[in-house]
Every structure is written in structure tokens, then in C-alpha cells.
């Protein structure tokens, strides 16, 4: 089963770019990537550009409204994701715990819907 690991970062708690702590965090991401690749569970994953590049849309009463930035009212922002293919939620949580942002943000683990099952 495939799971999406959604990486939410709290900018007030994450290491600042260019610091030794930032380099350590990036090393942790590289290690998590290599572990998932070595275990043949990684299907895809990327970081996202900053929230200042985001646009959101919604339709109300048939009228589409466009807004700058992400719309969620939260301190944390979606910074990236992984899609992994593992047997169950417990295994997915084990891989999610490898992601460095678990130390200063939140990793949301959600099973993907399968609208095209093999058969």
C-alpha cells in the first residue's frame, strides 16, 4: 500500500539556513532518502518552494477566487512530501520517523486512495 508522508515545518523552530544545524538536518534528509531507496520503498518525494510562491483558489457560489500563499491558518507550512510503498501504517510511521522535520514540525502519514487497482 502507498502512503504519503506530508512534511509540515514550523519556521520558528527549524534550523536557519547556512548554520551547522541546518547542515545536520539536510544530512538527515539525505540519510532518510538513501534508507528508503535501499529498502526499495521510495516511490517519489520532493521539497516544495517557499510559501511565498504559492497561490490558492476556491470557488464560492460559482465564482473562483484566487489568493496569494497557502490558505491554511497555521504556523506550520507544507514543505515537502514522500510517497512510499510499504505493507502497513506501522511501517509507514517507522519511515516517517526518519524525516528530520519530525524534530521541529509534524509529519502527517496518510494512505493513498487506489482508484486503479491491478486486477
Read off the pLDDT of residues 63-113 as tens digits, 9 standing for 90 and up: 998 887 766 656 788 999 999 999 999 999 999 999 999 999 999 999 999
In a domain, 14, yes or no: yes
**Tell me, what's the pLDDT at 71?**
60
**Tell me, what's the pLDDT at 74?**
66
φ/ψ (deg, to 5) at 63? -105, 125
Give the residue among 34, 36, 51, 50 at the shortest CA–CA distance from 3. 36
Total domains present in the chain = 1
In a domain, 85, yes or no: yes
In a domain, 116, yes or no: no
CATH number reported for the structural domain that contains residue 94 in this entry: 3.30.70.1060
Give the residue among 2, 28, 43 at the shortest CA–CA distance from 104. 28
Instruction: Map residue 71 onto helix, strand or coil.
Output: coil
Domain range spanning residue 9?
2-111
In a domain, 105, yes or no: yes
In a domain, 118, yes or no: no
Residue 100 and residue 14 in contact, taking contact as beta carbons nearer than 8 Å? no
In a domain, 8, yes or no: yes
Between CA 63 and CA 64, with CA 71 as vertex, the angle to 5 degrees is 10
Place 52 in a pLDDT band, splitting at 50, 70 and 90: confident
Share of the chain above pLDDT 90, in %: 70
Amino acid at each position: 500500500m502507498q502512503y504519503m508522508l506530508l512534511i509540515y515545518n514550523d519556521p520558528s523552530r527549524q534550523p536557519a539556513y547556512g548554520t551547522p544545524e541546518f547542515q545536520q538536518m539536510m544530512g538527515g534528509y539525505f540519510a532518510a532518502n538513501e534508507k528508503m531507496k535501499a529498502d526499495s520503498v521510495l516511490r517519489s518525494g520532493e521539497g516544495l518552494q517557499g510559501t511565498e510562491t504559492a497561490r490558492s483558489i476556491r470557488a464560492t457560489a460559482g465564482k473562483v477566487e484566487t489568493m496569494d500563499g497557502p490558505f491554511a491558518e497555521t504556523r506550520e507550512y507544507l514543505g515537502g512530501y514522500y510517497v512510499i510503498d510499504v505493507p502497513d501504517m506501522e511501517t509507514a510511521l517507522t519511515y516517517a520517523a526518519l524525516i528530520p522535520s519530525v524534530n521541529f514540525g509534524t509529519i502527517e502519514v496518510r494512505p493513498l486512495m487506489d482508484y486503479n487497482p491491478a486486477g
